[in-house]
Structure 1
């Protein structure tokens, strides 16, 4: 009887956690629209958002609004859910005395870099799949919004984008998807492969992009594996921030690269073969850093 009551109580807390998260998303969206209204702007549909993004005087307001929305939707929700579940997102899942090591961060980030070509190829293949018009429109809308946001013509805008696109999402999304979601999965699912896959799948699916789903799934797999083996959220936060920062800085240094990040990026047959040949390298390197961690080494 007590076991059944405990399960019911736990299930109720998880349902409440989901409700809190979506409530915070709604509050974040409301705060974003309120911020626009206070600055004399309105967002009625995606086209009006694109118009704001094209206006150099107003794009910074959009950046601030997005930042506010993300802080409420992800950071605030993670803190509240963590309090309710009595487990901070930053609580380690391995040794509570484990120290952050920059070398370990770079080892796992290198794994993500090795996966970049594979992620790009999967996105290219996904882009070749005929989609319903509404799915294509959703993907295109998402890319256009990012394209408008990521255009920069000054160091100040670069710093703003690093904060809004790299740092805040890197912090908030990792607090939620790894610090809350994956930590709870690891309490109930013992097999690493299931935990990592579920965490990565939910992370990728939440972004609501079909073509972008597969590249984000690859990123999610690396982040989930990093968290599983290190037990320290700061590693996944660091990797997430480095990953997003890489693309922001690339867009600043080479503005023409923005178009190359779309679903139209070509892969010649020989390039596809080379990418597939990197799979053994990825597998070997993953096992290498995993064994170092399990053997008590620096990784």
Structure 2
């Protein structure tokens, strides 16, 4: 149906299906909560909510649009095995390690941002929204059993990494790139949308950078498993650290510390190192026929 359509049309349908999926997910969640009032507000309620969003807002829209274009949608989305995939996965992990300090410093700066006095009301409203979201996240990560840990790794890390990369890098970024004929622009536009759609202003800039890193991991390799691995490790780190060290772990404590010159030195060093590792990563896939 969309085989000969423009990429703008494909982007339109991608977001249309995602918006429709959000209504479907909300309706199913509402019916479940109405049928079982005790279910509302429980940890399983929020787990079910995230699973529904993953399926109806991310996976099905990306898969459906690509299925209307080709008989092999997963291949088109970049979910494939290649000869260089093991090396690519290694570089993906390495890039996560070297880029994490820079993104952490940006997260620290973003969290401590103060809007002008004229926007004080908006800042208070944003803080309240994010505090509410944090309460849900804290409830989600509050489980103390091994099963809670495994479920959180599965839902927050594995499933989220897979469906979000499928939607944002596999589908959206590729459609934007083919439309604008510019891979770098596609990476940054995709990263902007990826960050904005999370509706967290005080986490916008680190998520923007993370989205760009994920975008370049896919742009150079055309293999979605590599950004999926990076995304998984990033999310799983938060889950595991929170499980073993509690909510007041060193990751959250870092955001409350004042920025120093050392912080900026770490950020610059991390950014430069990430750039040079990416040069090696790009070279690895330069002669790949899939590029």
Q: 2:241 aligns with which of 245, 250, 274?
A: 250
Deviating above 6 A after TM superposition, structure 1's stretches of 4 or more consecutive aligned residues are none
Structure 2-normalised TM-score?
A: 0.84
- The aligned residue for residue 30 of structure 2 is 33
Q: Bigger CA drift: 183-192 or 113-122?
A: 183-192
- The aligned residue for residue 275 of structure 2 is 283
**Counterpart Cα distance in 2 of 1:286 and 1:10:** 28
Structure 2 unaligned residues grouped into runs of 5+: 116-121
Distance 1:79 1:211, change over 3 A: same
**Counterpart Cα distance in 1 of 2:26 and 2:48:** 13
Equivalent residues of 1:197, 1:221 under 8 A apart? yes
**Counterpart Cα distance in 2 of 1:109 and 1:267:** 29
Distance 1:88 1:227, change over 3 A: farther
Equivalent residues of 1:105, 1:238 under 8 A apart? yes
1:102 equivalent to 2:86? Answer yes
**Counterpart Cα distance in 2 of 1:97 and 1:127:** 39
- The aligned residue for residue 272 of structure 1 is 264
SS in 2 for 1:151: coil
- The aligned residue for residue 154 of structure 1 is 145
Distance 1:147 1:36, change over 3 A: same
Equivalent residues of 1:32, 1:69 under 8 A apart? no
Distance 1:267 1:286, change over 3 A: farther
SS in 2 for 1:211: helix
Distance 1:79 1:140, change over 3 A: same
SS in 2 for 1:278: helix
CA root-mean-square deviation: 2.7
- The aligned residue for residue 118 of structure 2 is none
Equivalent residues of 1:67, 1:164 under 8 A apart? yes
**Counterpart Cα distance in 2 of 1:11 and 1:225:** 21
Distance 1:11 1:190, change over 3 A: closer
SS in 2 for 1:153: coil
1:80 equivalent to 2:64? Answer yes
Equivalent residues of 2:14, 2:62 under 8 A apart? no
Please list, as runs of the form range in 1=range in 2, the aligned pairs for 1:38-187 lying within 5 A after superposition.
Answer: 38-41=35-38, 52=41, 58-86=42-70, 90-92=74-76, 98-99=82-83, 101-131=85-115, 132=122, 133-187=124-178
Structure 1-normalised TM-score?
A: 0.82
**Counterpart Cα distance in 1 of 2:141 and 2:250:** 11
Structure 1 unaligned residues grouped into runs of 5+: 1-5, 44-51, 53-57
Cα offsets for 1:150-179 (capped at 9, x unmatched): 122110001111121112211111111011
